[in-house]
Amino acid sequence: METVATQEPKVTQALANTHGLTDDEFDRIRTILGRDPNYTELGIFSVMWSEHCSYKNSKPVLALLPRDGKQLLVKAGEENAGVVDIGSGLAVVFKIESHNHPSAVEPFQGAATGVGGIIRDIFTMGARPVLLTNSLRFGSLDRERNQNFLRGVVGGIAHYGNCVGIPTVGGEIYFDDFYEGNPLVNALCLGIMKKEDLVRGSASGVGNPVYYVGATTGRDGLGGASFASRELTEDSGRDRPAVQVGDPFMEKLLLEACLELVHSRAIVGMQDMGAAGLTCSTSETASRAGSGIEIDLSKVPRREAAMTPYEIMLSESQERMLVIVERGKEKRVEEIFEKWDLAAVKLGEVKDGKTMRVVDNGRVVANIPPKALTDEAPVYKREAKEPAYLSTTRRFDPGRIEEPKDLNRVLLMLLDAPTIASKQWIYEQYDHMVRTDTVFLPGHDAAVVRIKGMRKGLAISTDGNGLYCYLDPYEGGKIAVAEAARNVVSTGAKPIAITNCLNFGNPMKPDVFWQFRRVVEGIAEACRVLNTPVTGGNVSFYNENPKGAVYPTPTIGMVGLIDDVDERIPSFFTNVGDSVYILGDTFEELGGSQYLLVYHGVRAGRPPQLDLEKERSLHQLILDCAKLRMINSCHDLSEGGLAVGLAESLLGTLNKPLGAQVNLQFGTDVRRDVLLFGESQSRVLVTVDSAKELELESRAKASGVPCFRIGKVTRSGLRVNAWIHLDSEEIERTYRTAIPRRME
């Protein structure tokens, strides 16, 4: 390898093709440059025009998402992450991103660097990261391979997040054969800052020096962005060198130094070197500012000998940042990095004109207009066609399924399903309490953190049911948003904005692209009605294993704001004797339910239908009640339906399990399994003191929200009509041991 340094391959159409560029794209590069690109330039174009960096296949569809709202300080796509005003001079910055492909070939490092990357996206804006969450998808946990995936991914997330000192406060996870061989690993980070601390990823001001700070550059992660933009194959293990290796200690130092830098007011811009490393950070900062930029590669601190300009420009070594310093304040910047024992090297400066010039020991190795790499990257309208499988799955009639005799057994089976069961085995590996702000520990519908020094609190939830999206992408997209919002609302927080990560198969396949478009349309509709604009996110295509695409899987990260954190509502029953209510209607809906999947082994039917206006009324009712501190608990009904919702409500995180006595008086024409396990939307379980029954009922009536009193909280045992009768201890044991017993 060492000798290759001086022997650059000759650039040909064939070489461009192996870089993932089409013949048309190669021609376009020649037109832009007015000449053939050299090898380094070809590499630069190939990563910047990859789907991962350019969104070339998704841009026209993403334009459907609502990105407006008076609360948005920075809109989606303008910067590394969106910024939302939460009042009192504060803003939150948050974003979710995928690291699916790296995690598939190297679960521990893949997941760890996914966390590292998203943390940098947040502090690069000037915000202090205060929490992490994640959305994970794996194949069946009864298979050893997926147990290893889970162990590696959770270990990697814990390794990174714990060491940096940012609590992982929540998350969600599904296990399904459709994710076999192509796990999804999406990580979300949220930061808080004073509004005036906002830093742009912009290289403005001719003559301002450009600094490289943080870790050294090596050959790790070479071509990671391109690797993420193809399907996984049996040979993907060979791409392991495209996976980066993370050093969370370095990240922690970089985080502290960069925040000190922000407060020093010595910089004009900052951007992390994530996908496509130095290439992406230099071209994007110059492009945003509409300026030119020049850097000298001979100055780049390296960890390996004889690296070529191509390798340096494309390296995805972690924990590095590009900082644009205000001229004259270089010394202040160097002092801060020296304090933290980090490298800070001047690489070049902002230039007049519109080119990105990269030199190496006096030789120009790349000379490209930055806009050609960013705003002017190709955009494609892909063909979309409804997938054939839908005509079969839609025809499925759940009415033909035989109703099980032993409903206790069904409930226990569902509680033992890893998708539904307690995630304690996972979240106990994450430090979820560091920073001492986590006022709702994991296990709640949404995590809630306080903001020290004020009454306000933030709630956060991540959601996305891939099976619903598989059976009806539009409804599934709507539900992903609505459920995330409902989870946040259930804790007493008002939803304010979302970030999304869109995980799909190969967009060149018309049926995959149709799924993508329909899901986005559903998300857009829900965001409009619920007034939660999209602040940004990430698209991950090519999630396919040799058997086909994963479920179309959007993951929605919803942020909610609580004006007074003491108004928060727990997700578990709190007092014996409280009255239990179900708010919202239950319909004859079994399609796409976990009950059908787990008990009957059926992946078919229509998923529940969502009426967004009803959803909105439900939210308003709960938030009004929260302000009045009327309800003692509130739990969203989702996978596993009412029966699972009741069982979960018994199992508070810090106390012994409680019980419930429930009597369902619905019409006799509705099936018992539908009542117990159906997943109709816009429903929650709430409890109130018996003295507050009338008030709840009249408020619900006034809001037009169906409201049924179904029972009481008891000391122990779950009874539902004559159908379910289980010990609370058996429920708890089943629910809590489902994952550990498979993992140990």
Partner 1 sequence: MKAGIVVFPGSNCDRDCFHVLRDVVKIDVAYIWHKSTSVGEIDLVVLPGGFSYGDYLRCGAIARFSPVMEAVERHARLGRPVLGICNGFQILLEVGLLPGAMLRNKSLRFVCKHVHLKTENARSMFTTRLEPGEILKIPIAHGEGGYFCDERTLEELEANNQIAFRYVSETGELGDEFNPNGSLRHIAGVLNKEGNVLGMMPHPERSSEQILGCEDGRKIWDSILEAYR
The tokens of 708 are what?
A: 């049924």
Q: What is the DSSP string of 78-127?
A: TSSSEEEEEETTEEEEEEEEE-HHHHHHSHHHHHHHHHHHHHHHHHTTTP
- The residue from 19, 99, 101, 159 that is catalytic is 99
Minimum Å distance from CB 253 to partner 1? 6
First-to-last C-alpha distance (Å) of the chain: 43
Q: For binding to partner 1 (CB under 8 A), which residues are involved?
A: 155, 158, 162-165, 247-250, 252-253, 340-341, 427-436, 438-439, 441, 450, 452, 565, 654
The tokens of 715 are what?
A: 């000391």
Minimum Å distance from CB 430 to partner 1? 6
Element (H, E) at 411: helix 407-415
Backbone angle region of 349, left / alpha / beta, with phi > 0 → left and psi within -120 to 50 → alpha: beta
Residue type for position 443: G
Query: Can you state the percent helix, strand and coil of the chain, rounding each to 5?
Result: 40, 25, 35
Q: Under DSSP, is residue 502 helix (H, G, I), strand (E, B) or coil?
A: strand
Minimum Å distance from CB 173 to partner 1? 17
Minimum Å distance from CB 160 to partner 1? 11
Minimum Å distance from CB 321 to partner 1? 17
Task: Write out the E strands in 221-355.
Answer: 267-272, 292-296, 320-325, 343-351
Whichever of 440 and 542 has its CB closer to partner 1, that residue is: 440
Minimum Å distance from CB 250 to partner 1? 8
Whichever of 247 and 475 has its CB closer to partner 1, that residue is: 247
Cβ count within 10 A of residue 64: 13
The tokens of 379 are what?
A: 């955009």
Minimum Å distance from CB 441 to partner 1? 8
Minimum Å distance from CB 165 to partner 1? 3
Whichever of 156 and 181 has its CB closer to partner 1, that residue is: 156
Which of 604, 582, 596, 589 has the alpha carbon at shortest distance from 674? Answer: 589
Whichever of 257 and 583 has its CB closer to partner 1, that residue is: 257
CA pair distance 157, 295, nearest whole angstrom: 34
CA pair distance 275, 223, nearest whole angstrom: 9
Backbone angle region of 634, left / alpha / beta, with phi > 0 → left and psi within -120 to 50 → alpha: beta
Q: Under DSSP, is residue 15 helix (H, G, I), strand (E, B) or coil?
A: helix
- Residue that is written with structure tokens 């690069």 in the block: 124
Contact 223/52 with Cβ under 8 angstroms? Answer: no
**Beta-sheet strand order (sheet of 553-562):** 438-440, 447-450, 457-463, 553-562, 494-503, 534-540
Within 8 A by CB and 6+ apart from 597, the residues are: 176, 467, 603
* 52 belongs to the catalytic site: yes
Minimum Å distance from CB 248 to partner 1? 7
Report, as residue numbers or ranges, the catalytic residues: 52, 99
